[in-house]
Structure 1
Amino acid sequence: MLDEADVPLTIGNLIVRMYRAAGHPEDVWCYEDVQRLGEADRYRTLILSMVRSGELVRTKSGSHYVTTAAQALRRVQTYFTVVALRSDPAPDEWIIVACLQDVAVHDDQWTLLPTEEDWSRYGDTFLAVSAEQAVEAALSAWTDDDEDSSEEPEVDIEGDAPMAPEDIAEAVRLSQLAESLHIDPTDLDEAVHEAAARYASDVCNATGTVDDEVAADEIYDEAGRQAADGVNNGSVYRQVSYLVAQYGADQTEEIIRGAAKPGAAGAAEAE
């Protein structure tokens, strides 16, 4: 479940919203209020019961984040993890191993997936309206990757890299901090571009294009495009998540506080 700023709600956040919706909007503003009134355990039991019964389904974000089944059904698109094998002697030959809806495969699970001699394994998550469309998108993306790599050095700023549950929790916390400091997405644009530029620098050094001004400019331009389209054009939560993944929570907090306008911290404390 996401709030108005597309920030994942924790079970604690969800309890607060359920309690307010039950007729107590003036009494409850945070999870501590629910605890003070002695209702937290009752609502937590209710939510976990709904999860076990299937009325709530877990999302790819992790076990602490939930979305209602009704919301899932209303979505036009959903996430599919596609796993496939590709023949090394005949690159046009593919075997689809699995296409799993609303399932995320973590790094430490890849070794458990099947493989065969003379076959390369591919896997990624795609947004699609059906399993068939997800497989089509996967094969298209993996084939396009081959074509792109033959033409020019590939730049990937890892804008969609999976995050550990503890990093997601830090991103939520720091997004709330940014909101309290009245941070606008434009305030974090430069920090995101600087993080992305590190990938361009690595590619230039690895491919020997560091001394080729034209080629290097193209690599940096591509990193900047990915930063703008994939991160900065989203919400503050999207930017903060990327910065947490790149720099860690402590440095990201320094960036957020440094981007705050003079007097914002005092105003936030007053609120």
Structure 2
Amino acid sequence: MNYQALFEQIKKKKSFLCVGLDSDMKKIPTHLLSSTDPVFEFNKAIVDATADYTVAYKPNVAFYECRGAVGWRSLEKTVIYIKDNYPDIFLIADAKRGDIGNTSKMYASAFLENMPFDSITVAPYMGEDSVTPFLEYDNKWVILLALTSNKGAFDFQFFEENNKKMFEKVLEKSQEWGTKENMMYVVGATKAEMLSDIRKIAPDHFLLVPGVGAQGGSLKEVAKYGMNQSCGLLVNSSRGIIFADTSDQFAIIAQIKAKELQKEMENLLIEYSIL
């Protein structure tokens, strides 16, 4: 999926919502646990309930890897199901990979070739040769960690030298490796006011923004500081949607929560003259 196709989906659905499939076995409704693959059945129900309101899904790979081969099968079945039934939805492997070149090639092959993901999150701190293998696939995207929403972000990302913070250096340097057509950036919603500074460095790139909802980020603030003429945002909500309810009505409640966010996004897209 290229830049324009993603923007067209945003306009069509009047949404820039990304639903995080952080499918924790400990939180899945108990009535699903007797099925052959509880995680897949949970994901399938969530996807079917929310697909009309979202432009992207983001499985967090850790929630699948921790279950070994069984978890990988659940992940593979999930992404194939989404691509078979909702081919226009953007799929993000939230894997946060990053290693020396040859290893990165194998990671890229795993997620962008052997599974039908459109993109993968990548840690940039080993430099160019750890990132460029992920950029070798047509119509696939790298989503670089730029400014994260966790407390520990202040340990390194705000280190300043020559009046430039480390995350700003990442934004500047990485634009030598990729373009707005194949590179996005992760920017935490709990640091929404800093999106204006990020837009000075990367005005046209899409930003993947986690932290709205359960983590306390404000969607209105994210749009105020981060939206550009092509929207330029994918705002992720995970727990606030998928675990909003744990009864046998969980999918219906997830649908309601996703629709609420979509409606708020529609209003913001109108306010900022995107629609």
Give yes or no for TM over 0.5: no
Higher CA-based Rg? 1
Greater relative contact order (CA < 8 Å, ≥ 6 in sequence): 2
Structure with the larger helix share: 1
Normalised by the length of structure 2, the TM-score is 0.29
TM value normalised by structure 1: 0.29
